[in-house]
Every structure is written in C-alpha cells, then in structure tokens.
Amino acid sequence: MFDLTGMNALVTGAAGGIGSAISRALAAQGARIALSGSNGSKLRAFREELIAQYGGDHVEITCDLSNTTQVEELIPATIDTLGGIDILINNAGVTRDNLAMRMKDEEWGDVIRINLESTFRLIRAAARPMMKARFGRIITITSVVGSTGNPGQMNYCAAKAGITGMTKSFAQEVASRGITANCVAPGFIRTPMTEVLSDSVKEALNTRIPMGRMGEGADVGTAVAFLASREASYITGQTIHVNGGMAMLG
C-alpha cells in the first residue's frame, strides 16, 4: 500500500481495539513502532504478537496519560529508544459519560486532561524534532461525536472537537517544515468494547449506518497508514471520517 520502511512511529493506546489495528497497519507497511499504553503486560503481549506477524524491532513504552510527568517524558523516551520520531499517532482516550447536570468535576477534568491536554503535550514535544528533520506526520484519532455531539458525552465531545481545532491550528504553524497534522474520526467500530453490546443494541446502531454495519479496526488503520505516508504530503489540517456514511460531513 504505502511504504513506511525506515520510519519511526509512536502509537498511544497501542494495545486497544483501534490502537492495535493502527499499529498493525503501520507495521505491515514497514514502520518501526513504539507501542505505548498504561498496561505494561498487555503491551508486551501485543508487541510479541506484532513481531511474530510482521517482524520488525518494535518496542513498548508504558505511559499513564493522566500523569503529566510521564506524558512529558514519552516523546524523549521514544526518540531515545527508536533513534527518532517520524509519526505520532494520538489514539489513547477515555470516557466518563454522564448527563451534563450530573457530571462531576472529576469526570470533566479526567477526560479533558487525558484526551485533550495530553494530546497537546505530545504534539508540542514532537514538533521540535520533526521541525529539525523537516518531516513529520501527526495523526490524532477523534470521533464522529466531536462533530455531531452526543447526549451524555459533553466532556468527550468537547475534547474531540477541541482536538480538531487544535490540529488545524498546529497544521498551519508547521506546514512549511514538511510536517502534516490530521485527524481520523471513526464512527461505530467493532472492538472488544462494542462486542459486549446486546444484539438488539447492535442492530439499532446498524440502522443508523447507511452501510448497515459497524466498521472494522482495519478501516481506521488504513486511513491512518495513508496519512502517515509520504504520498499524503499535500494533506494537512483535515479530518477523514470513517463512519460508513453515518454522518456525511463536509
């Protein structure tokens, strides 16, 4: 598809449903990956699986995105381990769903800190080495609800919408240095989280999707691999929506 051989990538939330699909898509095209997440044993198991399937010398770096110190150390640790960073995939995130009138300050703060603030910190830290190299690809996973809103997810929607605006601003700041910054916004994707839903709930969700089914993690991974490639050099500040037509956004 797209040759990422020789490129070093950091993927946050790398062992999760969408994160693992993104990691596989990048590894399949030859990228060397620093797999990051908060569960060290899960990361190690996925790293072994990735190497067995695609080869390569991938590494894992444990990081709790709610810990500012660990977030600030993640990009330097990636560069020390891989020797550089060409691709940053901000994928990790959390939800703390509640109706607005019942939402606790902690539920708001956790989602903003982990989903929005940590993304800002990682982009800021990656900018300097990428500017020096005059090349970089920054891709952040947002969500269809960042554009449409969703009841009970005011905090999550605010964070995802904030990432979109932040990405557009950053893209303008670094475009002349060969760095692109884009978002991929999934709709309903089949992951271990959605698999626990009842059949009736899944059927109700599928009626909202013109294609009549949930997407696969690989659908998101393919979009990310394209944006990470050299062939996507003239695409920046954009959001690719991967939602089966559920929301047809301009």
Q: Quick: pLDDT tens for 11-37.
A: 999 999 999 999 999 999 999 999 999
pLDDT at 159 over 70: yes
Q: What is the pLDDT of residue 194?
A: 76
Is the pLDDT assigned to residue 197 strictly greater than 80? no
Confidence (pLDDT) at 168: 98
Q: At what angle do helices 68-82 and 118-133 cross, to 10 degrees?
A: 30
Token pair for 86: 């060409």
Residue 54 bears catalytic tag: no
Is a pLDDT exceeding 80 seen at residue 125? yes
Q: What ranges do the domains of the chain cover?
A: 8-190+218-240
Report which residue type is found at 217.
G
User: Which CATH number is correct for 8-190+218-240, 3.40.50.300, 3.40.50.720, 3.90.950.20, 3.30.930.10?
Assistant: 3.40.50.720
Let me know the angle formed at the C-alpha of 169 by 108 and 78, rounded to the nearest 5 degrees: 75
Q: Please give the pLDDT value at position 222.
A: 97
CA distance 125 to 8: 15
**Out of 108, 156, 170, 188, which one is annotated catalytic?**
156
User: Would the pLDDT of 205 be above 70?
Assistant: yes
Whether the per-residue pLDDT at 98 is higher than 80: the answer is: yes
Beta bridge partners of 216: 190
**pLDDT tens digits along 32-53:** 999 999 999 999 999 999 999 9
User: Which is more confidently placed, 199 or 152?
Assistant: 152
Can you list the pairs that 56-60 forms with residues at least 24 positions away whose Cβ atoms lie under 8 Å? 56/27, 56/30, 56/31, 56/32, 57/32, 58/27, 58/32, 58/33, 58/34, 59/33, 59/34, 59/35, 60/14, 60/34, 60/35, 60/36
Which has the higher per-residue pLDDT, 197 or 160?
160
pLDDT at 203 over 90: no
What is the pLDDT at residue 1? 62
Q: pLDDT tens digit string along 104-113?
A: 999 999 999 9
Residue 53: predicted pLDDT: 95
